[in-house]
């Protein structure tokens, strides 16, 4: 209840009218204000007014219309333009206080620091504090009004105004509600004062009223404490409630903020979108502006155009009007003229009508005439139609007949076609049969050991303009027809055949060398017929042009490499024909390039010269020998094979080759060795016991291949030129006979592992025996040389006088014996000769002796052996009308050889025949003369004695017959 009365101001306090206060203006010094605040803080520590508080802050603390608030609420001008409370306001306030009957004070009191009057004045004023004793703002509901009168009293006591409580004062204080307006602090001070006074007053008993006052004061204090505690509790609850409320509000605000942020985002997106739209709209606006400008321009142009057109229209309108006027004038003129003309025409019309009538009558009569004619024509046409019908029927019947004939023709054609097909099939079979026959024939020849003969015809050379060929036909079945005769060989290569095709037919033979066969391939033919082309090829650097030599070596090398897992092929130094091959002549071949290099060395060393028949004529025989020894890894068996590739120097007629001097001597040597080759071959063909291998180095070298069950092939080369006809015929005849030679079935040279050792021992022993025999024979020969020859000559003469047949066989036998002896000497001499060849000289004294001997023997053989030798010589020396040119030299060139032995798989010896030293030639010239004479006598004999041809196969003979 006490609070309520305070709040209503019913206890004598007054609320200052703020409206009224604000109208006051006046000045008050800042010092006064701060000393007032200090003082208030001193007496009211809970108030805690800041000294430098702003007006706004002070307004919050000093409320409820207190003097401070009033003072502070009145702004006053200051030197720095701000606002401060001033003394004028206080003056006005004091006046107002006075008017309201409230105690007042003087301004000078404040200025001089006399606070008593001020406090007097203020003690009825109230300040508002909360339950905690703190000054609060006006909205605080639990406010309390403090009476400052108690404080006033305490200050009075402190300042010694009133040292003791008088009785009157005590009575005053004992009045009801007098303590209520005093502060708690003043109540306590009062309490202490009473207590202190009592103690000082001789410790007398407290009077009753003082005791009552004390009790009252204590009650008042207790009441205040309890009230304050309660207020504090309420305050706390209130704060908590408020806190929760604020918390919920904060949360609400947070959610609101979130929502607002999202909305902001959406709004931003929209804004972006709107911006884009705006830019678009702006662009469109720009475009439209441009369009508008364009339209405006167009509009202006259109306006100009319209005005121009209007002008034109007006001018044309005028023109038109003028023209109309002119036309009208013209029309009137024309109308008059037309009227005149109309009249004229009417006159003409009447005339014409008359004429028309006349004409009509005339036409009617003509029509009648025509009708009559039509009738006659119609009857004629009808007749023609009838005839046409008849013709059509006839043509139909003819067509039918033609169809019938056509049908029968096609049937006949079909029939013929079938027959033809049968014939074609038969022809095909015929060709197959022919091919089979050829293969079988070749096989039979192989079995028999026939020498194979391949014939190659070279094309006309670019310089040859005549182009008249002597070869008429090259048949399918390896037949070849010259102008008068038919020749048949194992193979005939036309001028169009290339090097590879030639080699393909030779390849099986080459490969058999690796199987242990001896193989010998000759190139034979007249000078310039293409021997070197076939054997070496025109251009070594181009693989396509390679001849048989290069291809064969390459092939052997490649094949040996491919077989190296089963057979190891290696160098074999021994020579089957007994000729010692210097070590230097052997080369190990490890690659195709090496093969080529070796071949080139051989080619470079070969003598080449120019003749009338061949610009680069080979002036020596070229013999390329490959010895192969293969050892089978499994069985340890050894295979020996050898390959001789012989490019013979060209046989030539000296008159045609226009050879003289050295060339002539070369030609003689060449023809002589060819002659010796022919002798050897035909001796083999006749299966003679003796074959004259030692007549030339060529035959010596080839002995193993010719007589050792070898496979032999001869390329016969022909020059198709008419000028070479006689040479061509001679060559063909020779080749034909050559193809009939049977050497016996070829044999492979294979030795088993055990046999090999025995063979080596036997060979060693044989060698010793041969040496001994040779020594004995030589001694015997030296001893009985003169007598022996005489004896033989006389015995020969004696025999020739007797039975011719007997004498013939005897002389042959003796000559063979002699030949054998001479041959053994020749062996010895050849060994010596080879030894000499290492030193560069290919002839020795023994050699020349041997040549003399051998020439004598050959002459003897030529005399005694009669027909056979003559036949051979005829073939080899192209004996025809020019018998003087036949060359018969029994001597031969040496065979220098070069190379070295190495460990290669295949080794080759390039053996080139060179010509004897010129010193030999004088001797030989004499012999040539002699042999020519002998040959002449042979020629005369030849016509009377029928030639004894080598046995030819049945087929070949038949071919000759055809």
Ligand X SMILES: Nc1ncnc2c1ncn2[C@@H]1O[C@H](COP(=O)(O)OP(=O)(O)OP(=O)(O)O)[C@@H](O)[C@H]1O
Which segment (324-332, 508-516, 528-536, 693-701) binds ligand X by CB under 6 A? 528-536
Contact indicator for 555, 679 with CB cutoff of 8 Å: no
Using the minimum distance from each CB to ligand X, give the nearer residue, 67 or 877.
877
For residue 818, state whether it binds ligand X (rule: CB under 6 A): no
Candidates 271, 348, 447, 461: give the one binding ligand X (CB under 6 A).
461
Q: Looking up tokens 């082309």, which residue turns up?
A: 533
Instruction: Round to whole Å and give the CA distance between 204 and 197.
Output: 10
- 808 assigned ligand-binding residue: no
List alpha helices for 612-711, DSSP H: 654-657, 661-685, 697-701, 703-707
Distance CA 501, CA 167 (A): 171
Q: Is residue 86 part of the contact set for ligand X (CB under 6 A)?
A: no
Of 145, 189, 529, 642, which lies in the binding site for ligand X, with binding defined by CB under 6 A?
529
Angle between the N-to-C axes of helices 661-685 and 919-942, in degrees from 0 to 180, rounded to the nearest 10: 50
Q: How far apart are CA 731 and CA 725, in angstroms?
A: 10
CB of 687 to ligand X, least distance (A): 31
531 is in an annotated binding site: yes
Interacting residue with ligand X among 123, 143, 488, 531 (CB under 6 A): 531
Q: Does residue 920 belong to the site contacting ligand X (CB under 6 A)?
A: no
| CB 740 to ligand X: min, Å | 24
Q: CB of 875: closest distance to ligand X in angstroms? A: 17
CB of 468 to ligand X, least distance (A): 17
Q: What is the DSSP string of 381-413?
A: HHHHHHHHHHHHHHHHHHHHHHHHHHHHHHHHH
Distance of CA 925 to the CA centre of its chain: 73
649 or 796: CB nearest ligand X: 649
Q: Is 919 annotated as a binding residue?
A: no
- Using the minimum distance from each CB to ligand X, give the nearer residue, 375 or 504: 504
Give the C-alpha separation, 404 to 557, whole Å.
73
736 binds ligand X (CB under 6 A): no
Smallest separation, CB 650 to ligand X (Å) = 2
**Is there a binding annotation on residue 84?**
no
Question: Of the two residues 468 and 813, which places its CB atom closer to ligand X in the complex?
Answer: 468
- Segment 639 to 658, residues that bind ligand X, using CB under 6 A: 649-650
> What's the Cα-to-Cα distance from 366 to each of 202, 379, 921, rounded to whole Å?
202, 21, 129
Q: How far is the CB of 528 from ligand X (least distance, A)?
A: 4
Find the shortest distance in angstroms from Cβ 557 to ligand X. Answer: 24
Candidates 6, 527, 724, 891; binder of ligand X (CB under 6 A) is 527
Specify the residue for token string 């020596």.
620
Structure tokens at 862: 């030529």
Query: 955 near 933, Cβ under 8 Å?
Result: no
Which one, 617 or 699, has the nearer CB to ligand X?
617
User: Which CB, 155 or 603, lies closer to ligand X?
Assistant: 603
Confirm or reject binding of residue 720 to ligand X (CB under 6 A).
no
Determine contact, residues 518/710, Cβ cutoff 8 Å.
yes
CB 535 → ligand X: shortest distance, Å? Answer: 8
Nearer to ligand X, 496 or 839 (CB): 496
Task: Determine contact, residues 59/73, Cβ cutoff 8 Å.
Answer: yes
Please, which residue, 532 or 704, has the CB nearer to ligand X?
A: 532
| Least distance in angstroms from the C-beta of 849 to ligand X | 32
Query: Contact letters (x/-) for ligand X, 674-713, by CB under 6 A?
Result: ----------------------------------------
- The annotation status of 532 as a binding-site residue, yes or no, is yes
The CB density around residue 70, as the number of other CB atoms within 10 Å, is 24
- ∠ CA(887), CA(891), CA(896), 5° rounding? 120
Site membership for ligand X, residue 458 (CB under 6 A) = yes
Residue 513 DSSP one-character state: G
Q: Which is nearer to ligand X, 73 or 618 (CB)?
A: 618
**Among 532, 560, 675, 818, contact with ligand X (rule: CB under 6 A):** 532
Distance between CA atoms of residues 116 and 133, nearest Å = 24
Q: Are 104 and 14 in contact (CB under 8 A)?
A: no
Question: What's the closest the beta carbon of residue 434 comes to ligand X, in angstroms?
Answer: 25
State the pairing for strand pair 491-493/452-457: parallel
Nearest approach in angstroms of CB 719 to ligand X is 8
Min CB(840)–ligand X separation in Å? 25
Reduced to 3 states (helix: H, G, I; strand: E, B; else coil), residue 369 is helix
Contacts of 735 (CB under 8 A, 6+ apart): 453, 455, 487, 489, 524, 714, 716
Cα radius of gyration rounded to whole Å, the chain: 81
Q: Which of positions 827-866 make contact with ligand X (CB under 6 A)?
A: none
Residue 930 Cα distances to 434, 852, 858, 887, 933, angstroms: 50, 13, 12, 11, 5
Q: Which range in 107-115, 194-202, 530-538, 842-850 contacts ligand X by CB under 6 A?
A: 530-538
Query: Per-residue x/- mask for ligand X, residues 533 to 572, rule CB under 6 A?
Result: x----x----------------------------------
Instruction: Give the nearest distance from C-beta 420 to ligand X in angstroms.
Output: 38
913 binds ligand X (CB under 6 A): no
Q: Confirm or reject binding of residue 483 to ligand X (CB under 6 A).
A: no
**45, 113, 259, 459: which one binds ligand X (CB under 6 A):** 459
Mask for 603-642, x = binds ligand X (CB under 6 A) = -----------x-xxx------------------------
Would you say 578 or 609 has its CB closer to ligand X?
609
CA distance 198 to 554: 159
- Give 816 or 875: the residue with its C-beta nearer to ligand X: 875
Helices 919-942 and 845-864 meet at what angle, rounded to 10?
A: 10
* 528 marked among binding-site residues: yes
Per DSSP, the residues of 718-729 read E--BGGGHHHHH
Helices 804-838 and 845-864 cross at an angle (nearest 10°) of 160
Closest contact distance (angstroms) between CB of 497 and ligand X is 7
Q: Going by C-beta distance under 8 Å and a sequence separation of 6 or more, which residues neighbour residue 827?
A: 578, 694, 774
Nearest alpha carbon to residue 583 among 592, 574, 591: 574
Binders of ligand X among 496-525, rule CB under 6 A?
A: 525
- Distance, C-alpha 483 to centroid of its chain: 61
Q: Which residues, including other chains, have CB under 8 Å from residue 711's CB and lie 6 or more apart?
A: 446, 452, 509, 512, 517, 518, 519, 520, 746
- Whose Cβ is closer to ligand X: residue 61's or residue 533's? 533
**Residue nearest to ligand X according to CB distances in the complex:** 650
Comparison of 721 and 742: residue with beta carbon closer to ligand X? 721
Distance of CA 738 to CAs 124, 454, 593, 682, 715, Å? 175, 11, 36, 8, 11
First to last CA, the chain: 176
527 appears as a binding residue in the annotation: yes
Q: How far apart are CA 49 and CA 37, in angstroms?
A: 7
**CB nearer ligand X, residue 17 or residue 501:** 501
Number of residues that bind ligand X (CB under 6 A): 19
Distance CA 640, CA 420 (A): 55
- Determine if residue 893 is labeled as part of a ligand binding site: no
Question: Whole-number minimum distance, CB 532 to ligand X, in Å?
Answer: 3
Q: Which of 26, 87, 516, 530 binds ligand X (CB under 6 A)?
A: 530
The smaller minimum CB distance to ligand X, of residues 126 and 717, is found at 717
> Which chain residues interact with ligand X by CB under 6 A?
458-459, 461, 525, 527-533, 538, 614, 616-618, 649-650, 717
Q: Which residues are annotated as a binding site for ATP?
A: 525-532
């Amino acid at each position: 209840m006490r609070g309520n009365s305070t709040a209503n101001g019913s206890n004598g306090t007054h609320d200052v009218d703020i409206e009224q206060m604000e109208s006051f203006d006046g000045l008050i010094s800042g010092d006064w204000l701060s000393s007032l605040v200090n003082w208030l803080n001193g007496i009211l520590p809970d108030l805690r007014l800041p000294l430098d508080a702003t007006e706004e802050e002070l307004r919050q603390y000093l409320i409820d219309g207190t003097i401070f608030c009033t003072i502070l609420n009145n702004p006053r001008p200051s030197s720095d333009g701000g606002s401060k409370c001033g003394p004028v306001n206080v003056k006005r306030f004091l006046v107002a206080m006075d008017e309201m009957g409230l105690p007042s004070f003087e301004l000078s009191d404040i200025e001089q620091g006399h606070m008593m009057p001020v406090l007097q004045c203020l003690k009825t004023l109230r300040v508002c504090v909360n339950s905690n004793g703190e000054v609060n703002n006006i909205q605080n509901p639990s406010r309390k009004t403090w009476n400052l009168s108690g404080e006033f009293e305490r200050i009075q006591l402190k300042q010694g105004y009133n040292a003791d409580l008088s009785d009157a004062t005590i009575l005053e204080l004992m009045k009801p509600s007098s303590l209520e307006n005093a502060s708690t602090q003043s109540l306590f001070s009062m309490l202490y004062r009473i207590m202190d006074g009592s103690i000082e007053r001789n410790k007398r008993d407290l009077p009753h009223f003082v005791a009552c006052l004390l009790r009252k004061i204590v009650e008042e204090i207790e009441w205040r404490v309890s009230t304050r505690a309660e207020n504090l509790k309420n305050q706390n609850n209130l704060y908590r409630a408020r806190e929760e409320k604020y918390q919920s509000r904060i949360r609400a605000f947070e959610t609101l903020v979130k929502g607002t942020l999202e909305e902001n985002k959406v709004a931003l997106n929209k804004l972006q979108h709107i911006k884009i739209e705006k830019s678009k709209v702006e662009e469109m606006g720009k475009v439209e502006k441009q369009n508008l400008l364009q339209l405006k321009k167009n509009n202006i142009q259109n306006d100009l155009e319209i005005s121009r057109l209007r002008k034109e229209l007006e001018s044309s309108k005028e023109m038109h009007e003028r023209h109309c006027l002119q036309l009208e004038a013209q029309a009137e003129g024309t109308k008059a003229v037309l009227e005149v003309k109309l009249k004229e025409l009417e006159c003409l019309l009447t005339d014409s009508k008359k004429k028309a009538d006349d004409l009509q009558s005339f036409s009617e009569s003509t029509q009648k005439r025509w009708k009559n004619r039509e009738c006659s024509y119609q009857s004629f046409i009808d007749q023609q139609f009838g005839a046409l019908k008849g013709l059509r029927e006839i043509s139909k019947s003819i067509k039918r007949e033609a169809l019938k004939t056509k049908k029968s023709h096609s049937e006949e054609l079909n029939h013929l076609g079938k027959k033809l097909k049968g014939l074609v099939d038969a022809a095909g079979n015929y060709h197959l049969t022919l091919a089979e026959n050829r293969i079988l024939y070749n096989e039979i020849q192989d079995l028999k050991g026939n020498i194979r003969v391949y014939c190659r015809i070279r094309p006309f050379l670019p310089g040859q303009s005549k182009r008249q060929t002597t070869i008429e036909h090259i048949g399918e079945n390896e037949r070849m027809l010259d102008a008068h005769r038919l020749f048949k060989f194992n193979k005939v290569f036309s001028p169009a055949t290339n090097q590879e095709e030639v080699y393909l037919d030779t390849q099986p033979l080459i490969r058999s060398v690796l199987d242990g066969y001896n193989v010998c391939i000759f190139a034979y033919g007249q000078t310039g017929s293409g021997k070197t082309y076939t054997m070496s090829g025109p251009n070594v650097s181009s693989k396509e042009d390679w001849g048989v030599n290069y291809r064969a070596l390459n092939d052997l090398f490649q094949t040996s490499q491919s077989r190296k897992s089963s057979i190891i092929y290696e160098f074999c130094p021994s020579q089957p024909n007994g000729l010692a091959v210097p070590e230097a002549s052997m080369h190990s071949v490890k690659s195709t390039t090496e093969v080529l290099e070796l071949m080139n060395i051989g080619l470079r060393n070969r003598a080449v010269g120019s003749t009338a028949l061949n610009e680069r004529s080979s002036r020596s025989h070229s013999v390329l020998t490959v010895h192969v020894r293969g050892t089978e890894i499994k069985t340890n068996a050894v295979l020996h094979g050898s390959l001789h590739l012989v490019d013979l120097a060209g046989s030539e007629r000296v008159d045609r080759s226009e050879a003289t001097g050295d060339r002539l001597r070369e030609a003689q040597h060449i023809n002589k060795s060819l002659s010796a080759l022919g002798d050897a071959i035909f001796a083999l063909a006749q299966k003679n016991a003796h074959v004259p291998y030692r007549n030339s180095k060529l035959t010596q070298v080839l002995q193993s291949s010719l007589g050792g069950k070898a496979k032999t092939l001869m390329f016969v080369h022909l020059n198709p030129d008419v000028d070479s006809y006689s040479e061509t015929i001679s060559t063909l005849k020779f080749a034909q006979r050559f193809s009939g030679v049977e050497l016996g079935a070829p044999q492979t040279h294979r030795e088993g592992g055990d046999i090999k050792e025995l063979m080596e021992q036997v060979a060693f022993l044989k060698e010793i025996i041969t040496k001994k025999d040779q020594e004995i024979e030589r001694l015997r020969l030296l001893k009985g040389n003169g007598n022996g020859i005489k004896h033989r000559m006389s015995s020969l003469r004696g025999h020739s006088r007797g039975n011719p047949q007997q004498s013939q066989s005897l002389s042959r036998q003796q000559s063979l014996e002699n030949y054998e002896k001479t041959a053994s000497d020749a062996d010895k001499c050849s060994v010596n000769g080879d030894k000499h060849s290492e030193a560069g000289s290919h002839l020795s004294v023994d050699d020349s002796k041997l040549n003399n001997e051998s020439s004598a023997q050959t002459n003897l053989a030529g005399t005694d052996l009669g027909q056979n030798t003559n036949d051979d010589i005829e073939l080899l020396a192209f004996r025809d009308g020019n018998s003087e040119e036949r060359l018969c030299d029994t001597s031969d060139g040496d065979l220098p050889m070069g190379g070295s032995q190495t460990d290669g798989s295949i080794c080759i010896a390039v053996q080139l025949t060179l010509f004897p030293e010129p010193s030999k030639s004088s001797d030989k010239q004499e012999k040539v003369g002699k042999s020519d004479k002998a040959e002449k006598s042979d020629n005369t004999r030849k016509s009377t004695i029928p030639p004894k041809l080598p046995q030819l196969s049945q087929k070949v003979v038949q071919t000759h017959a055809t």
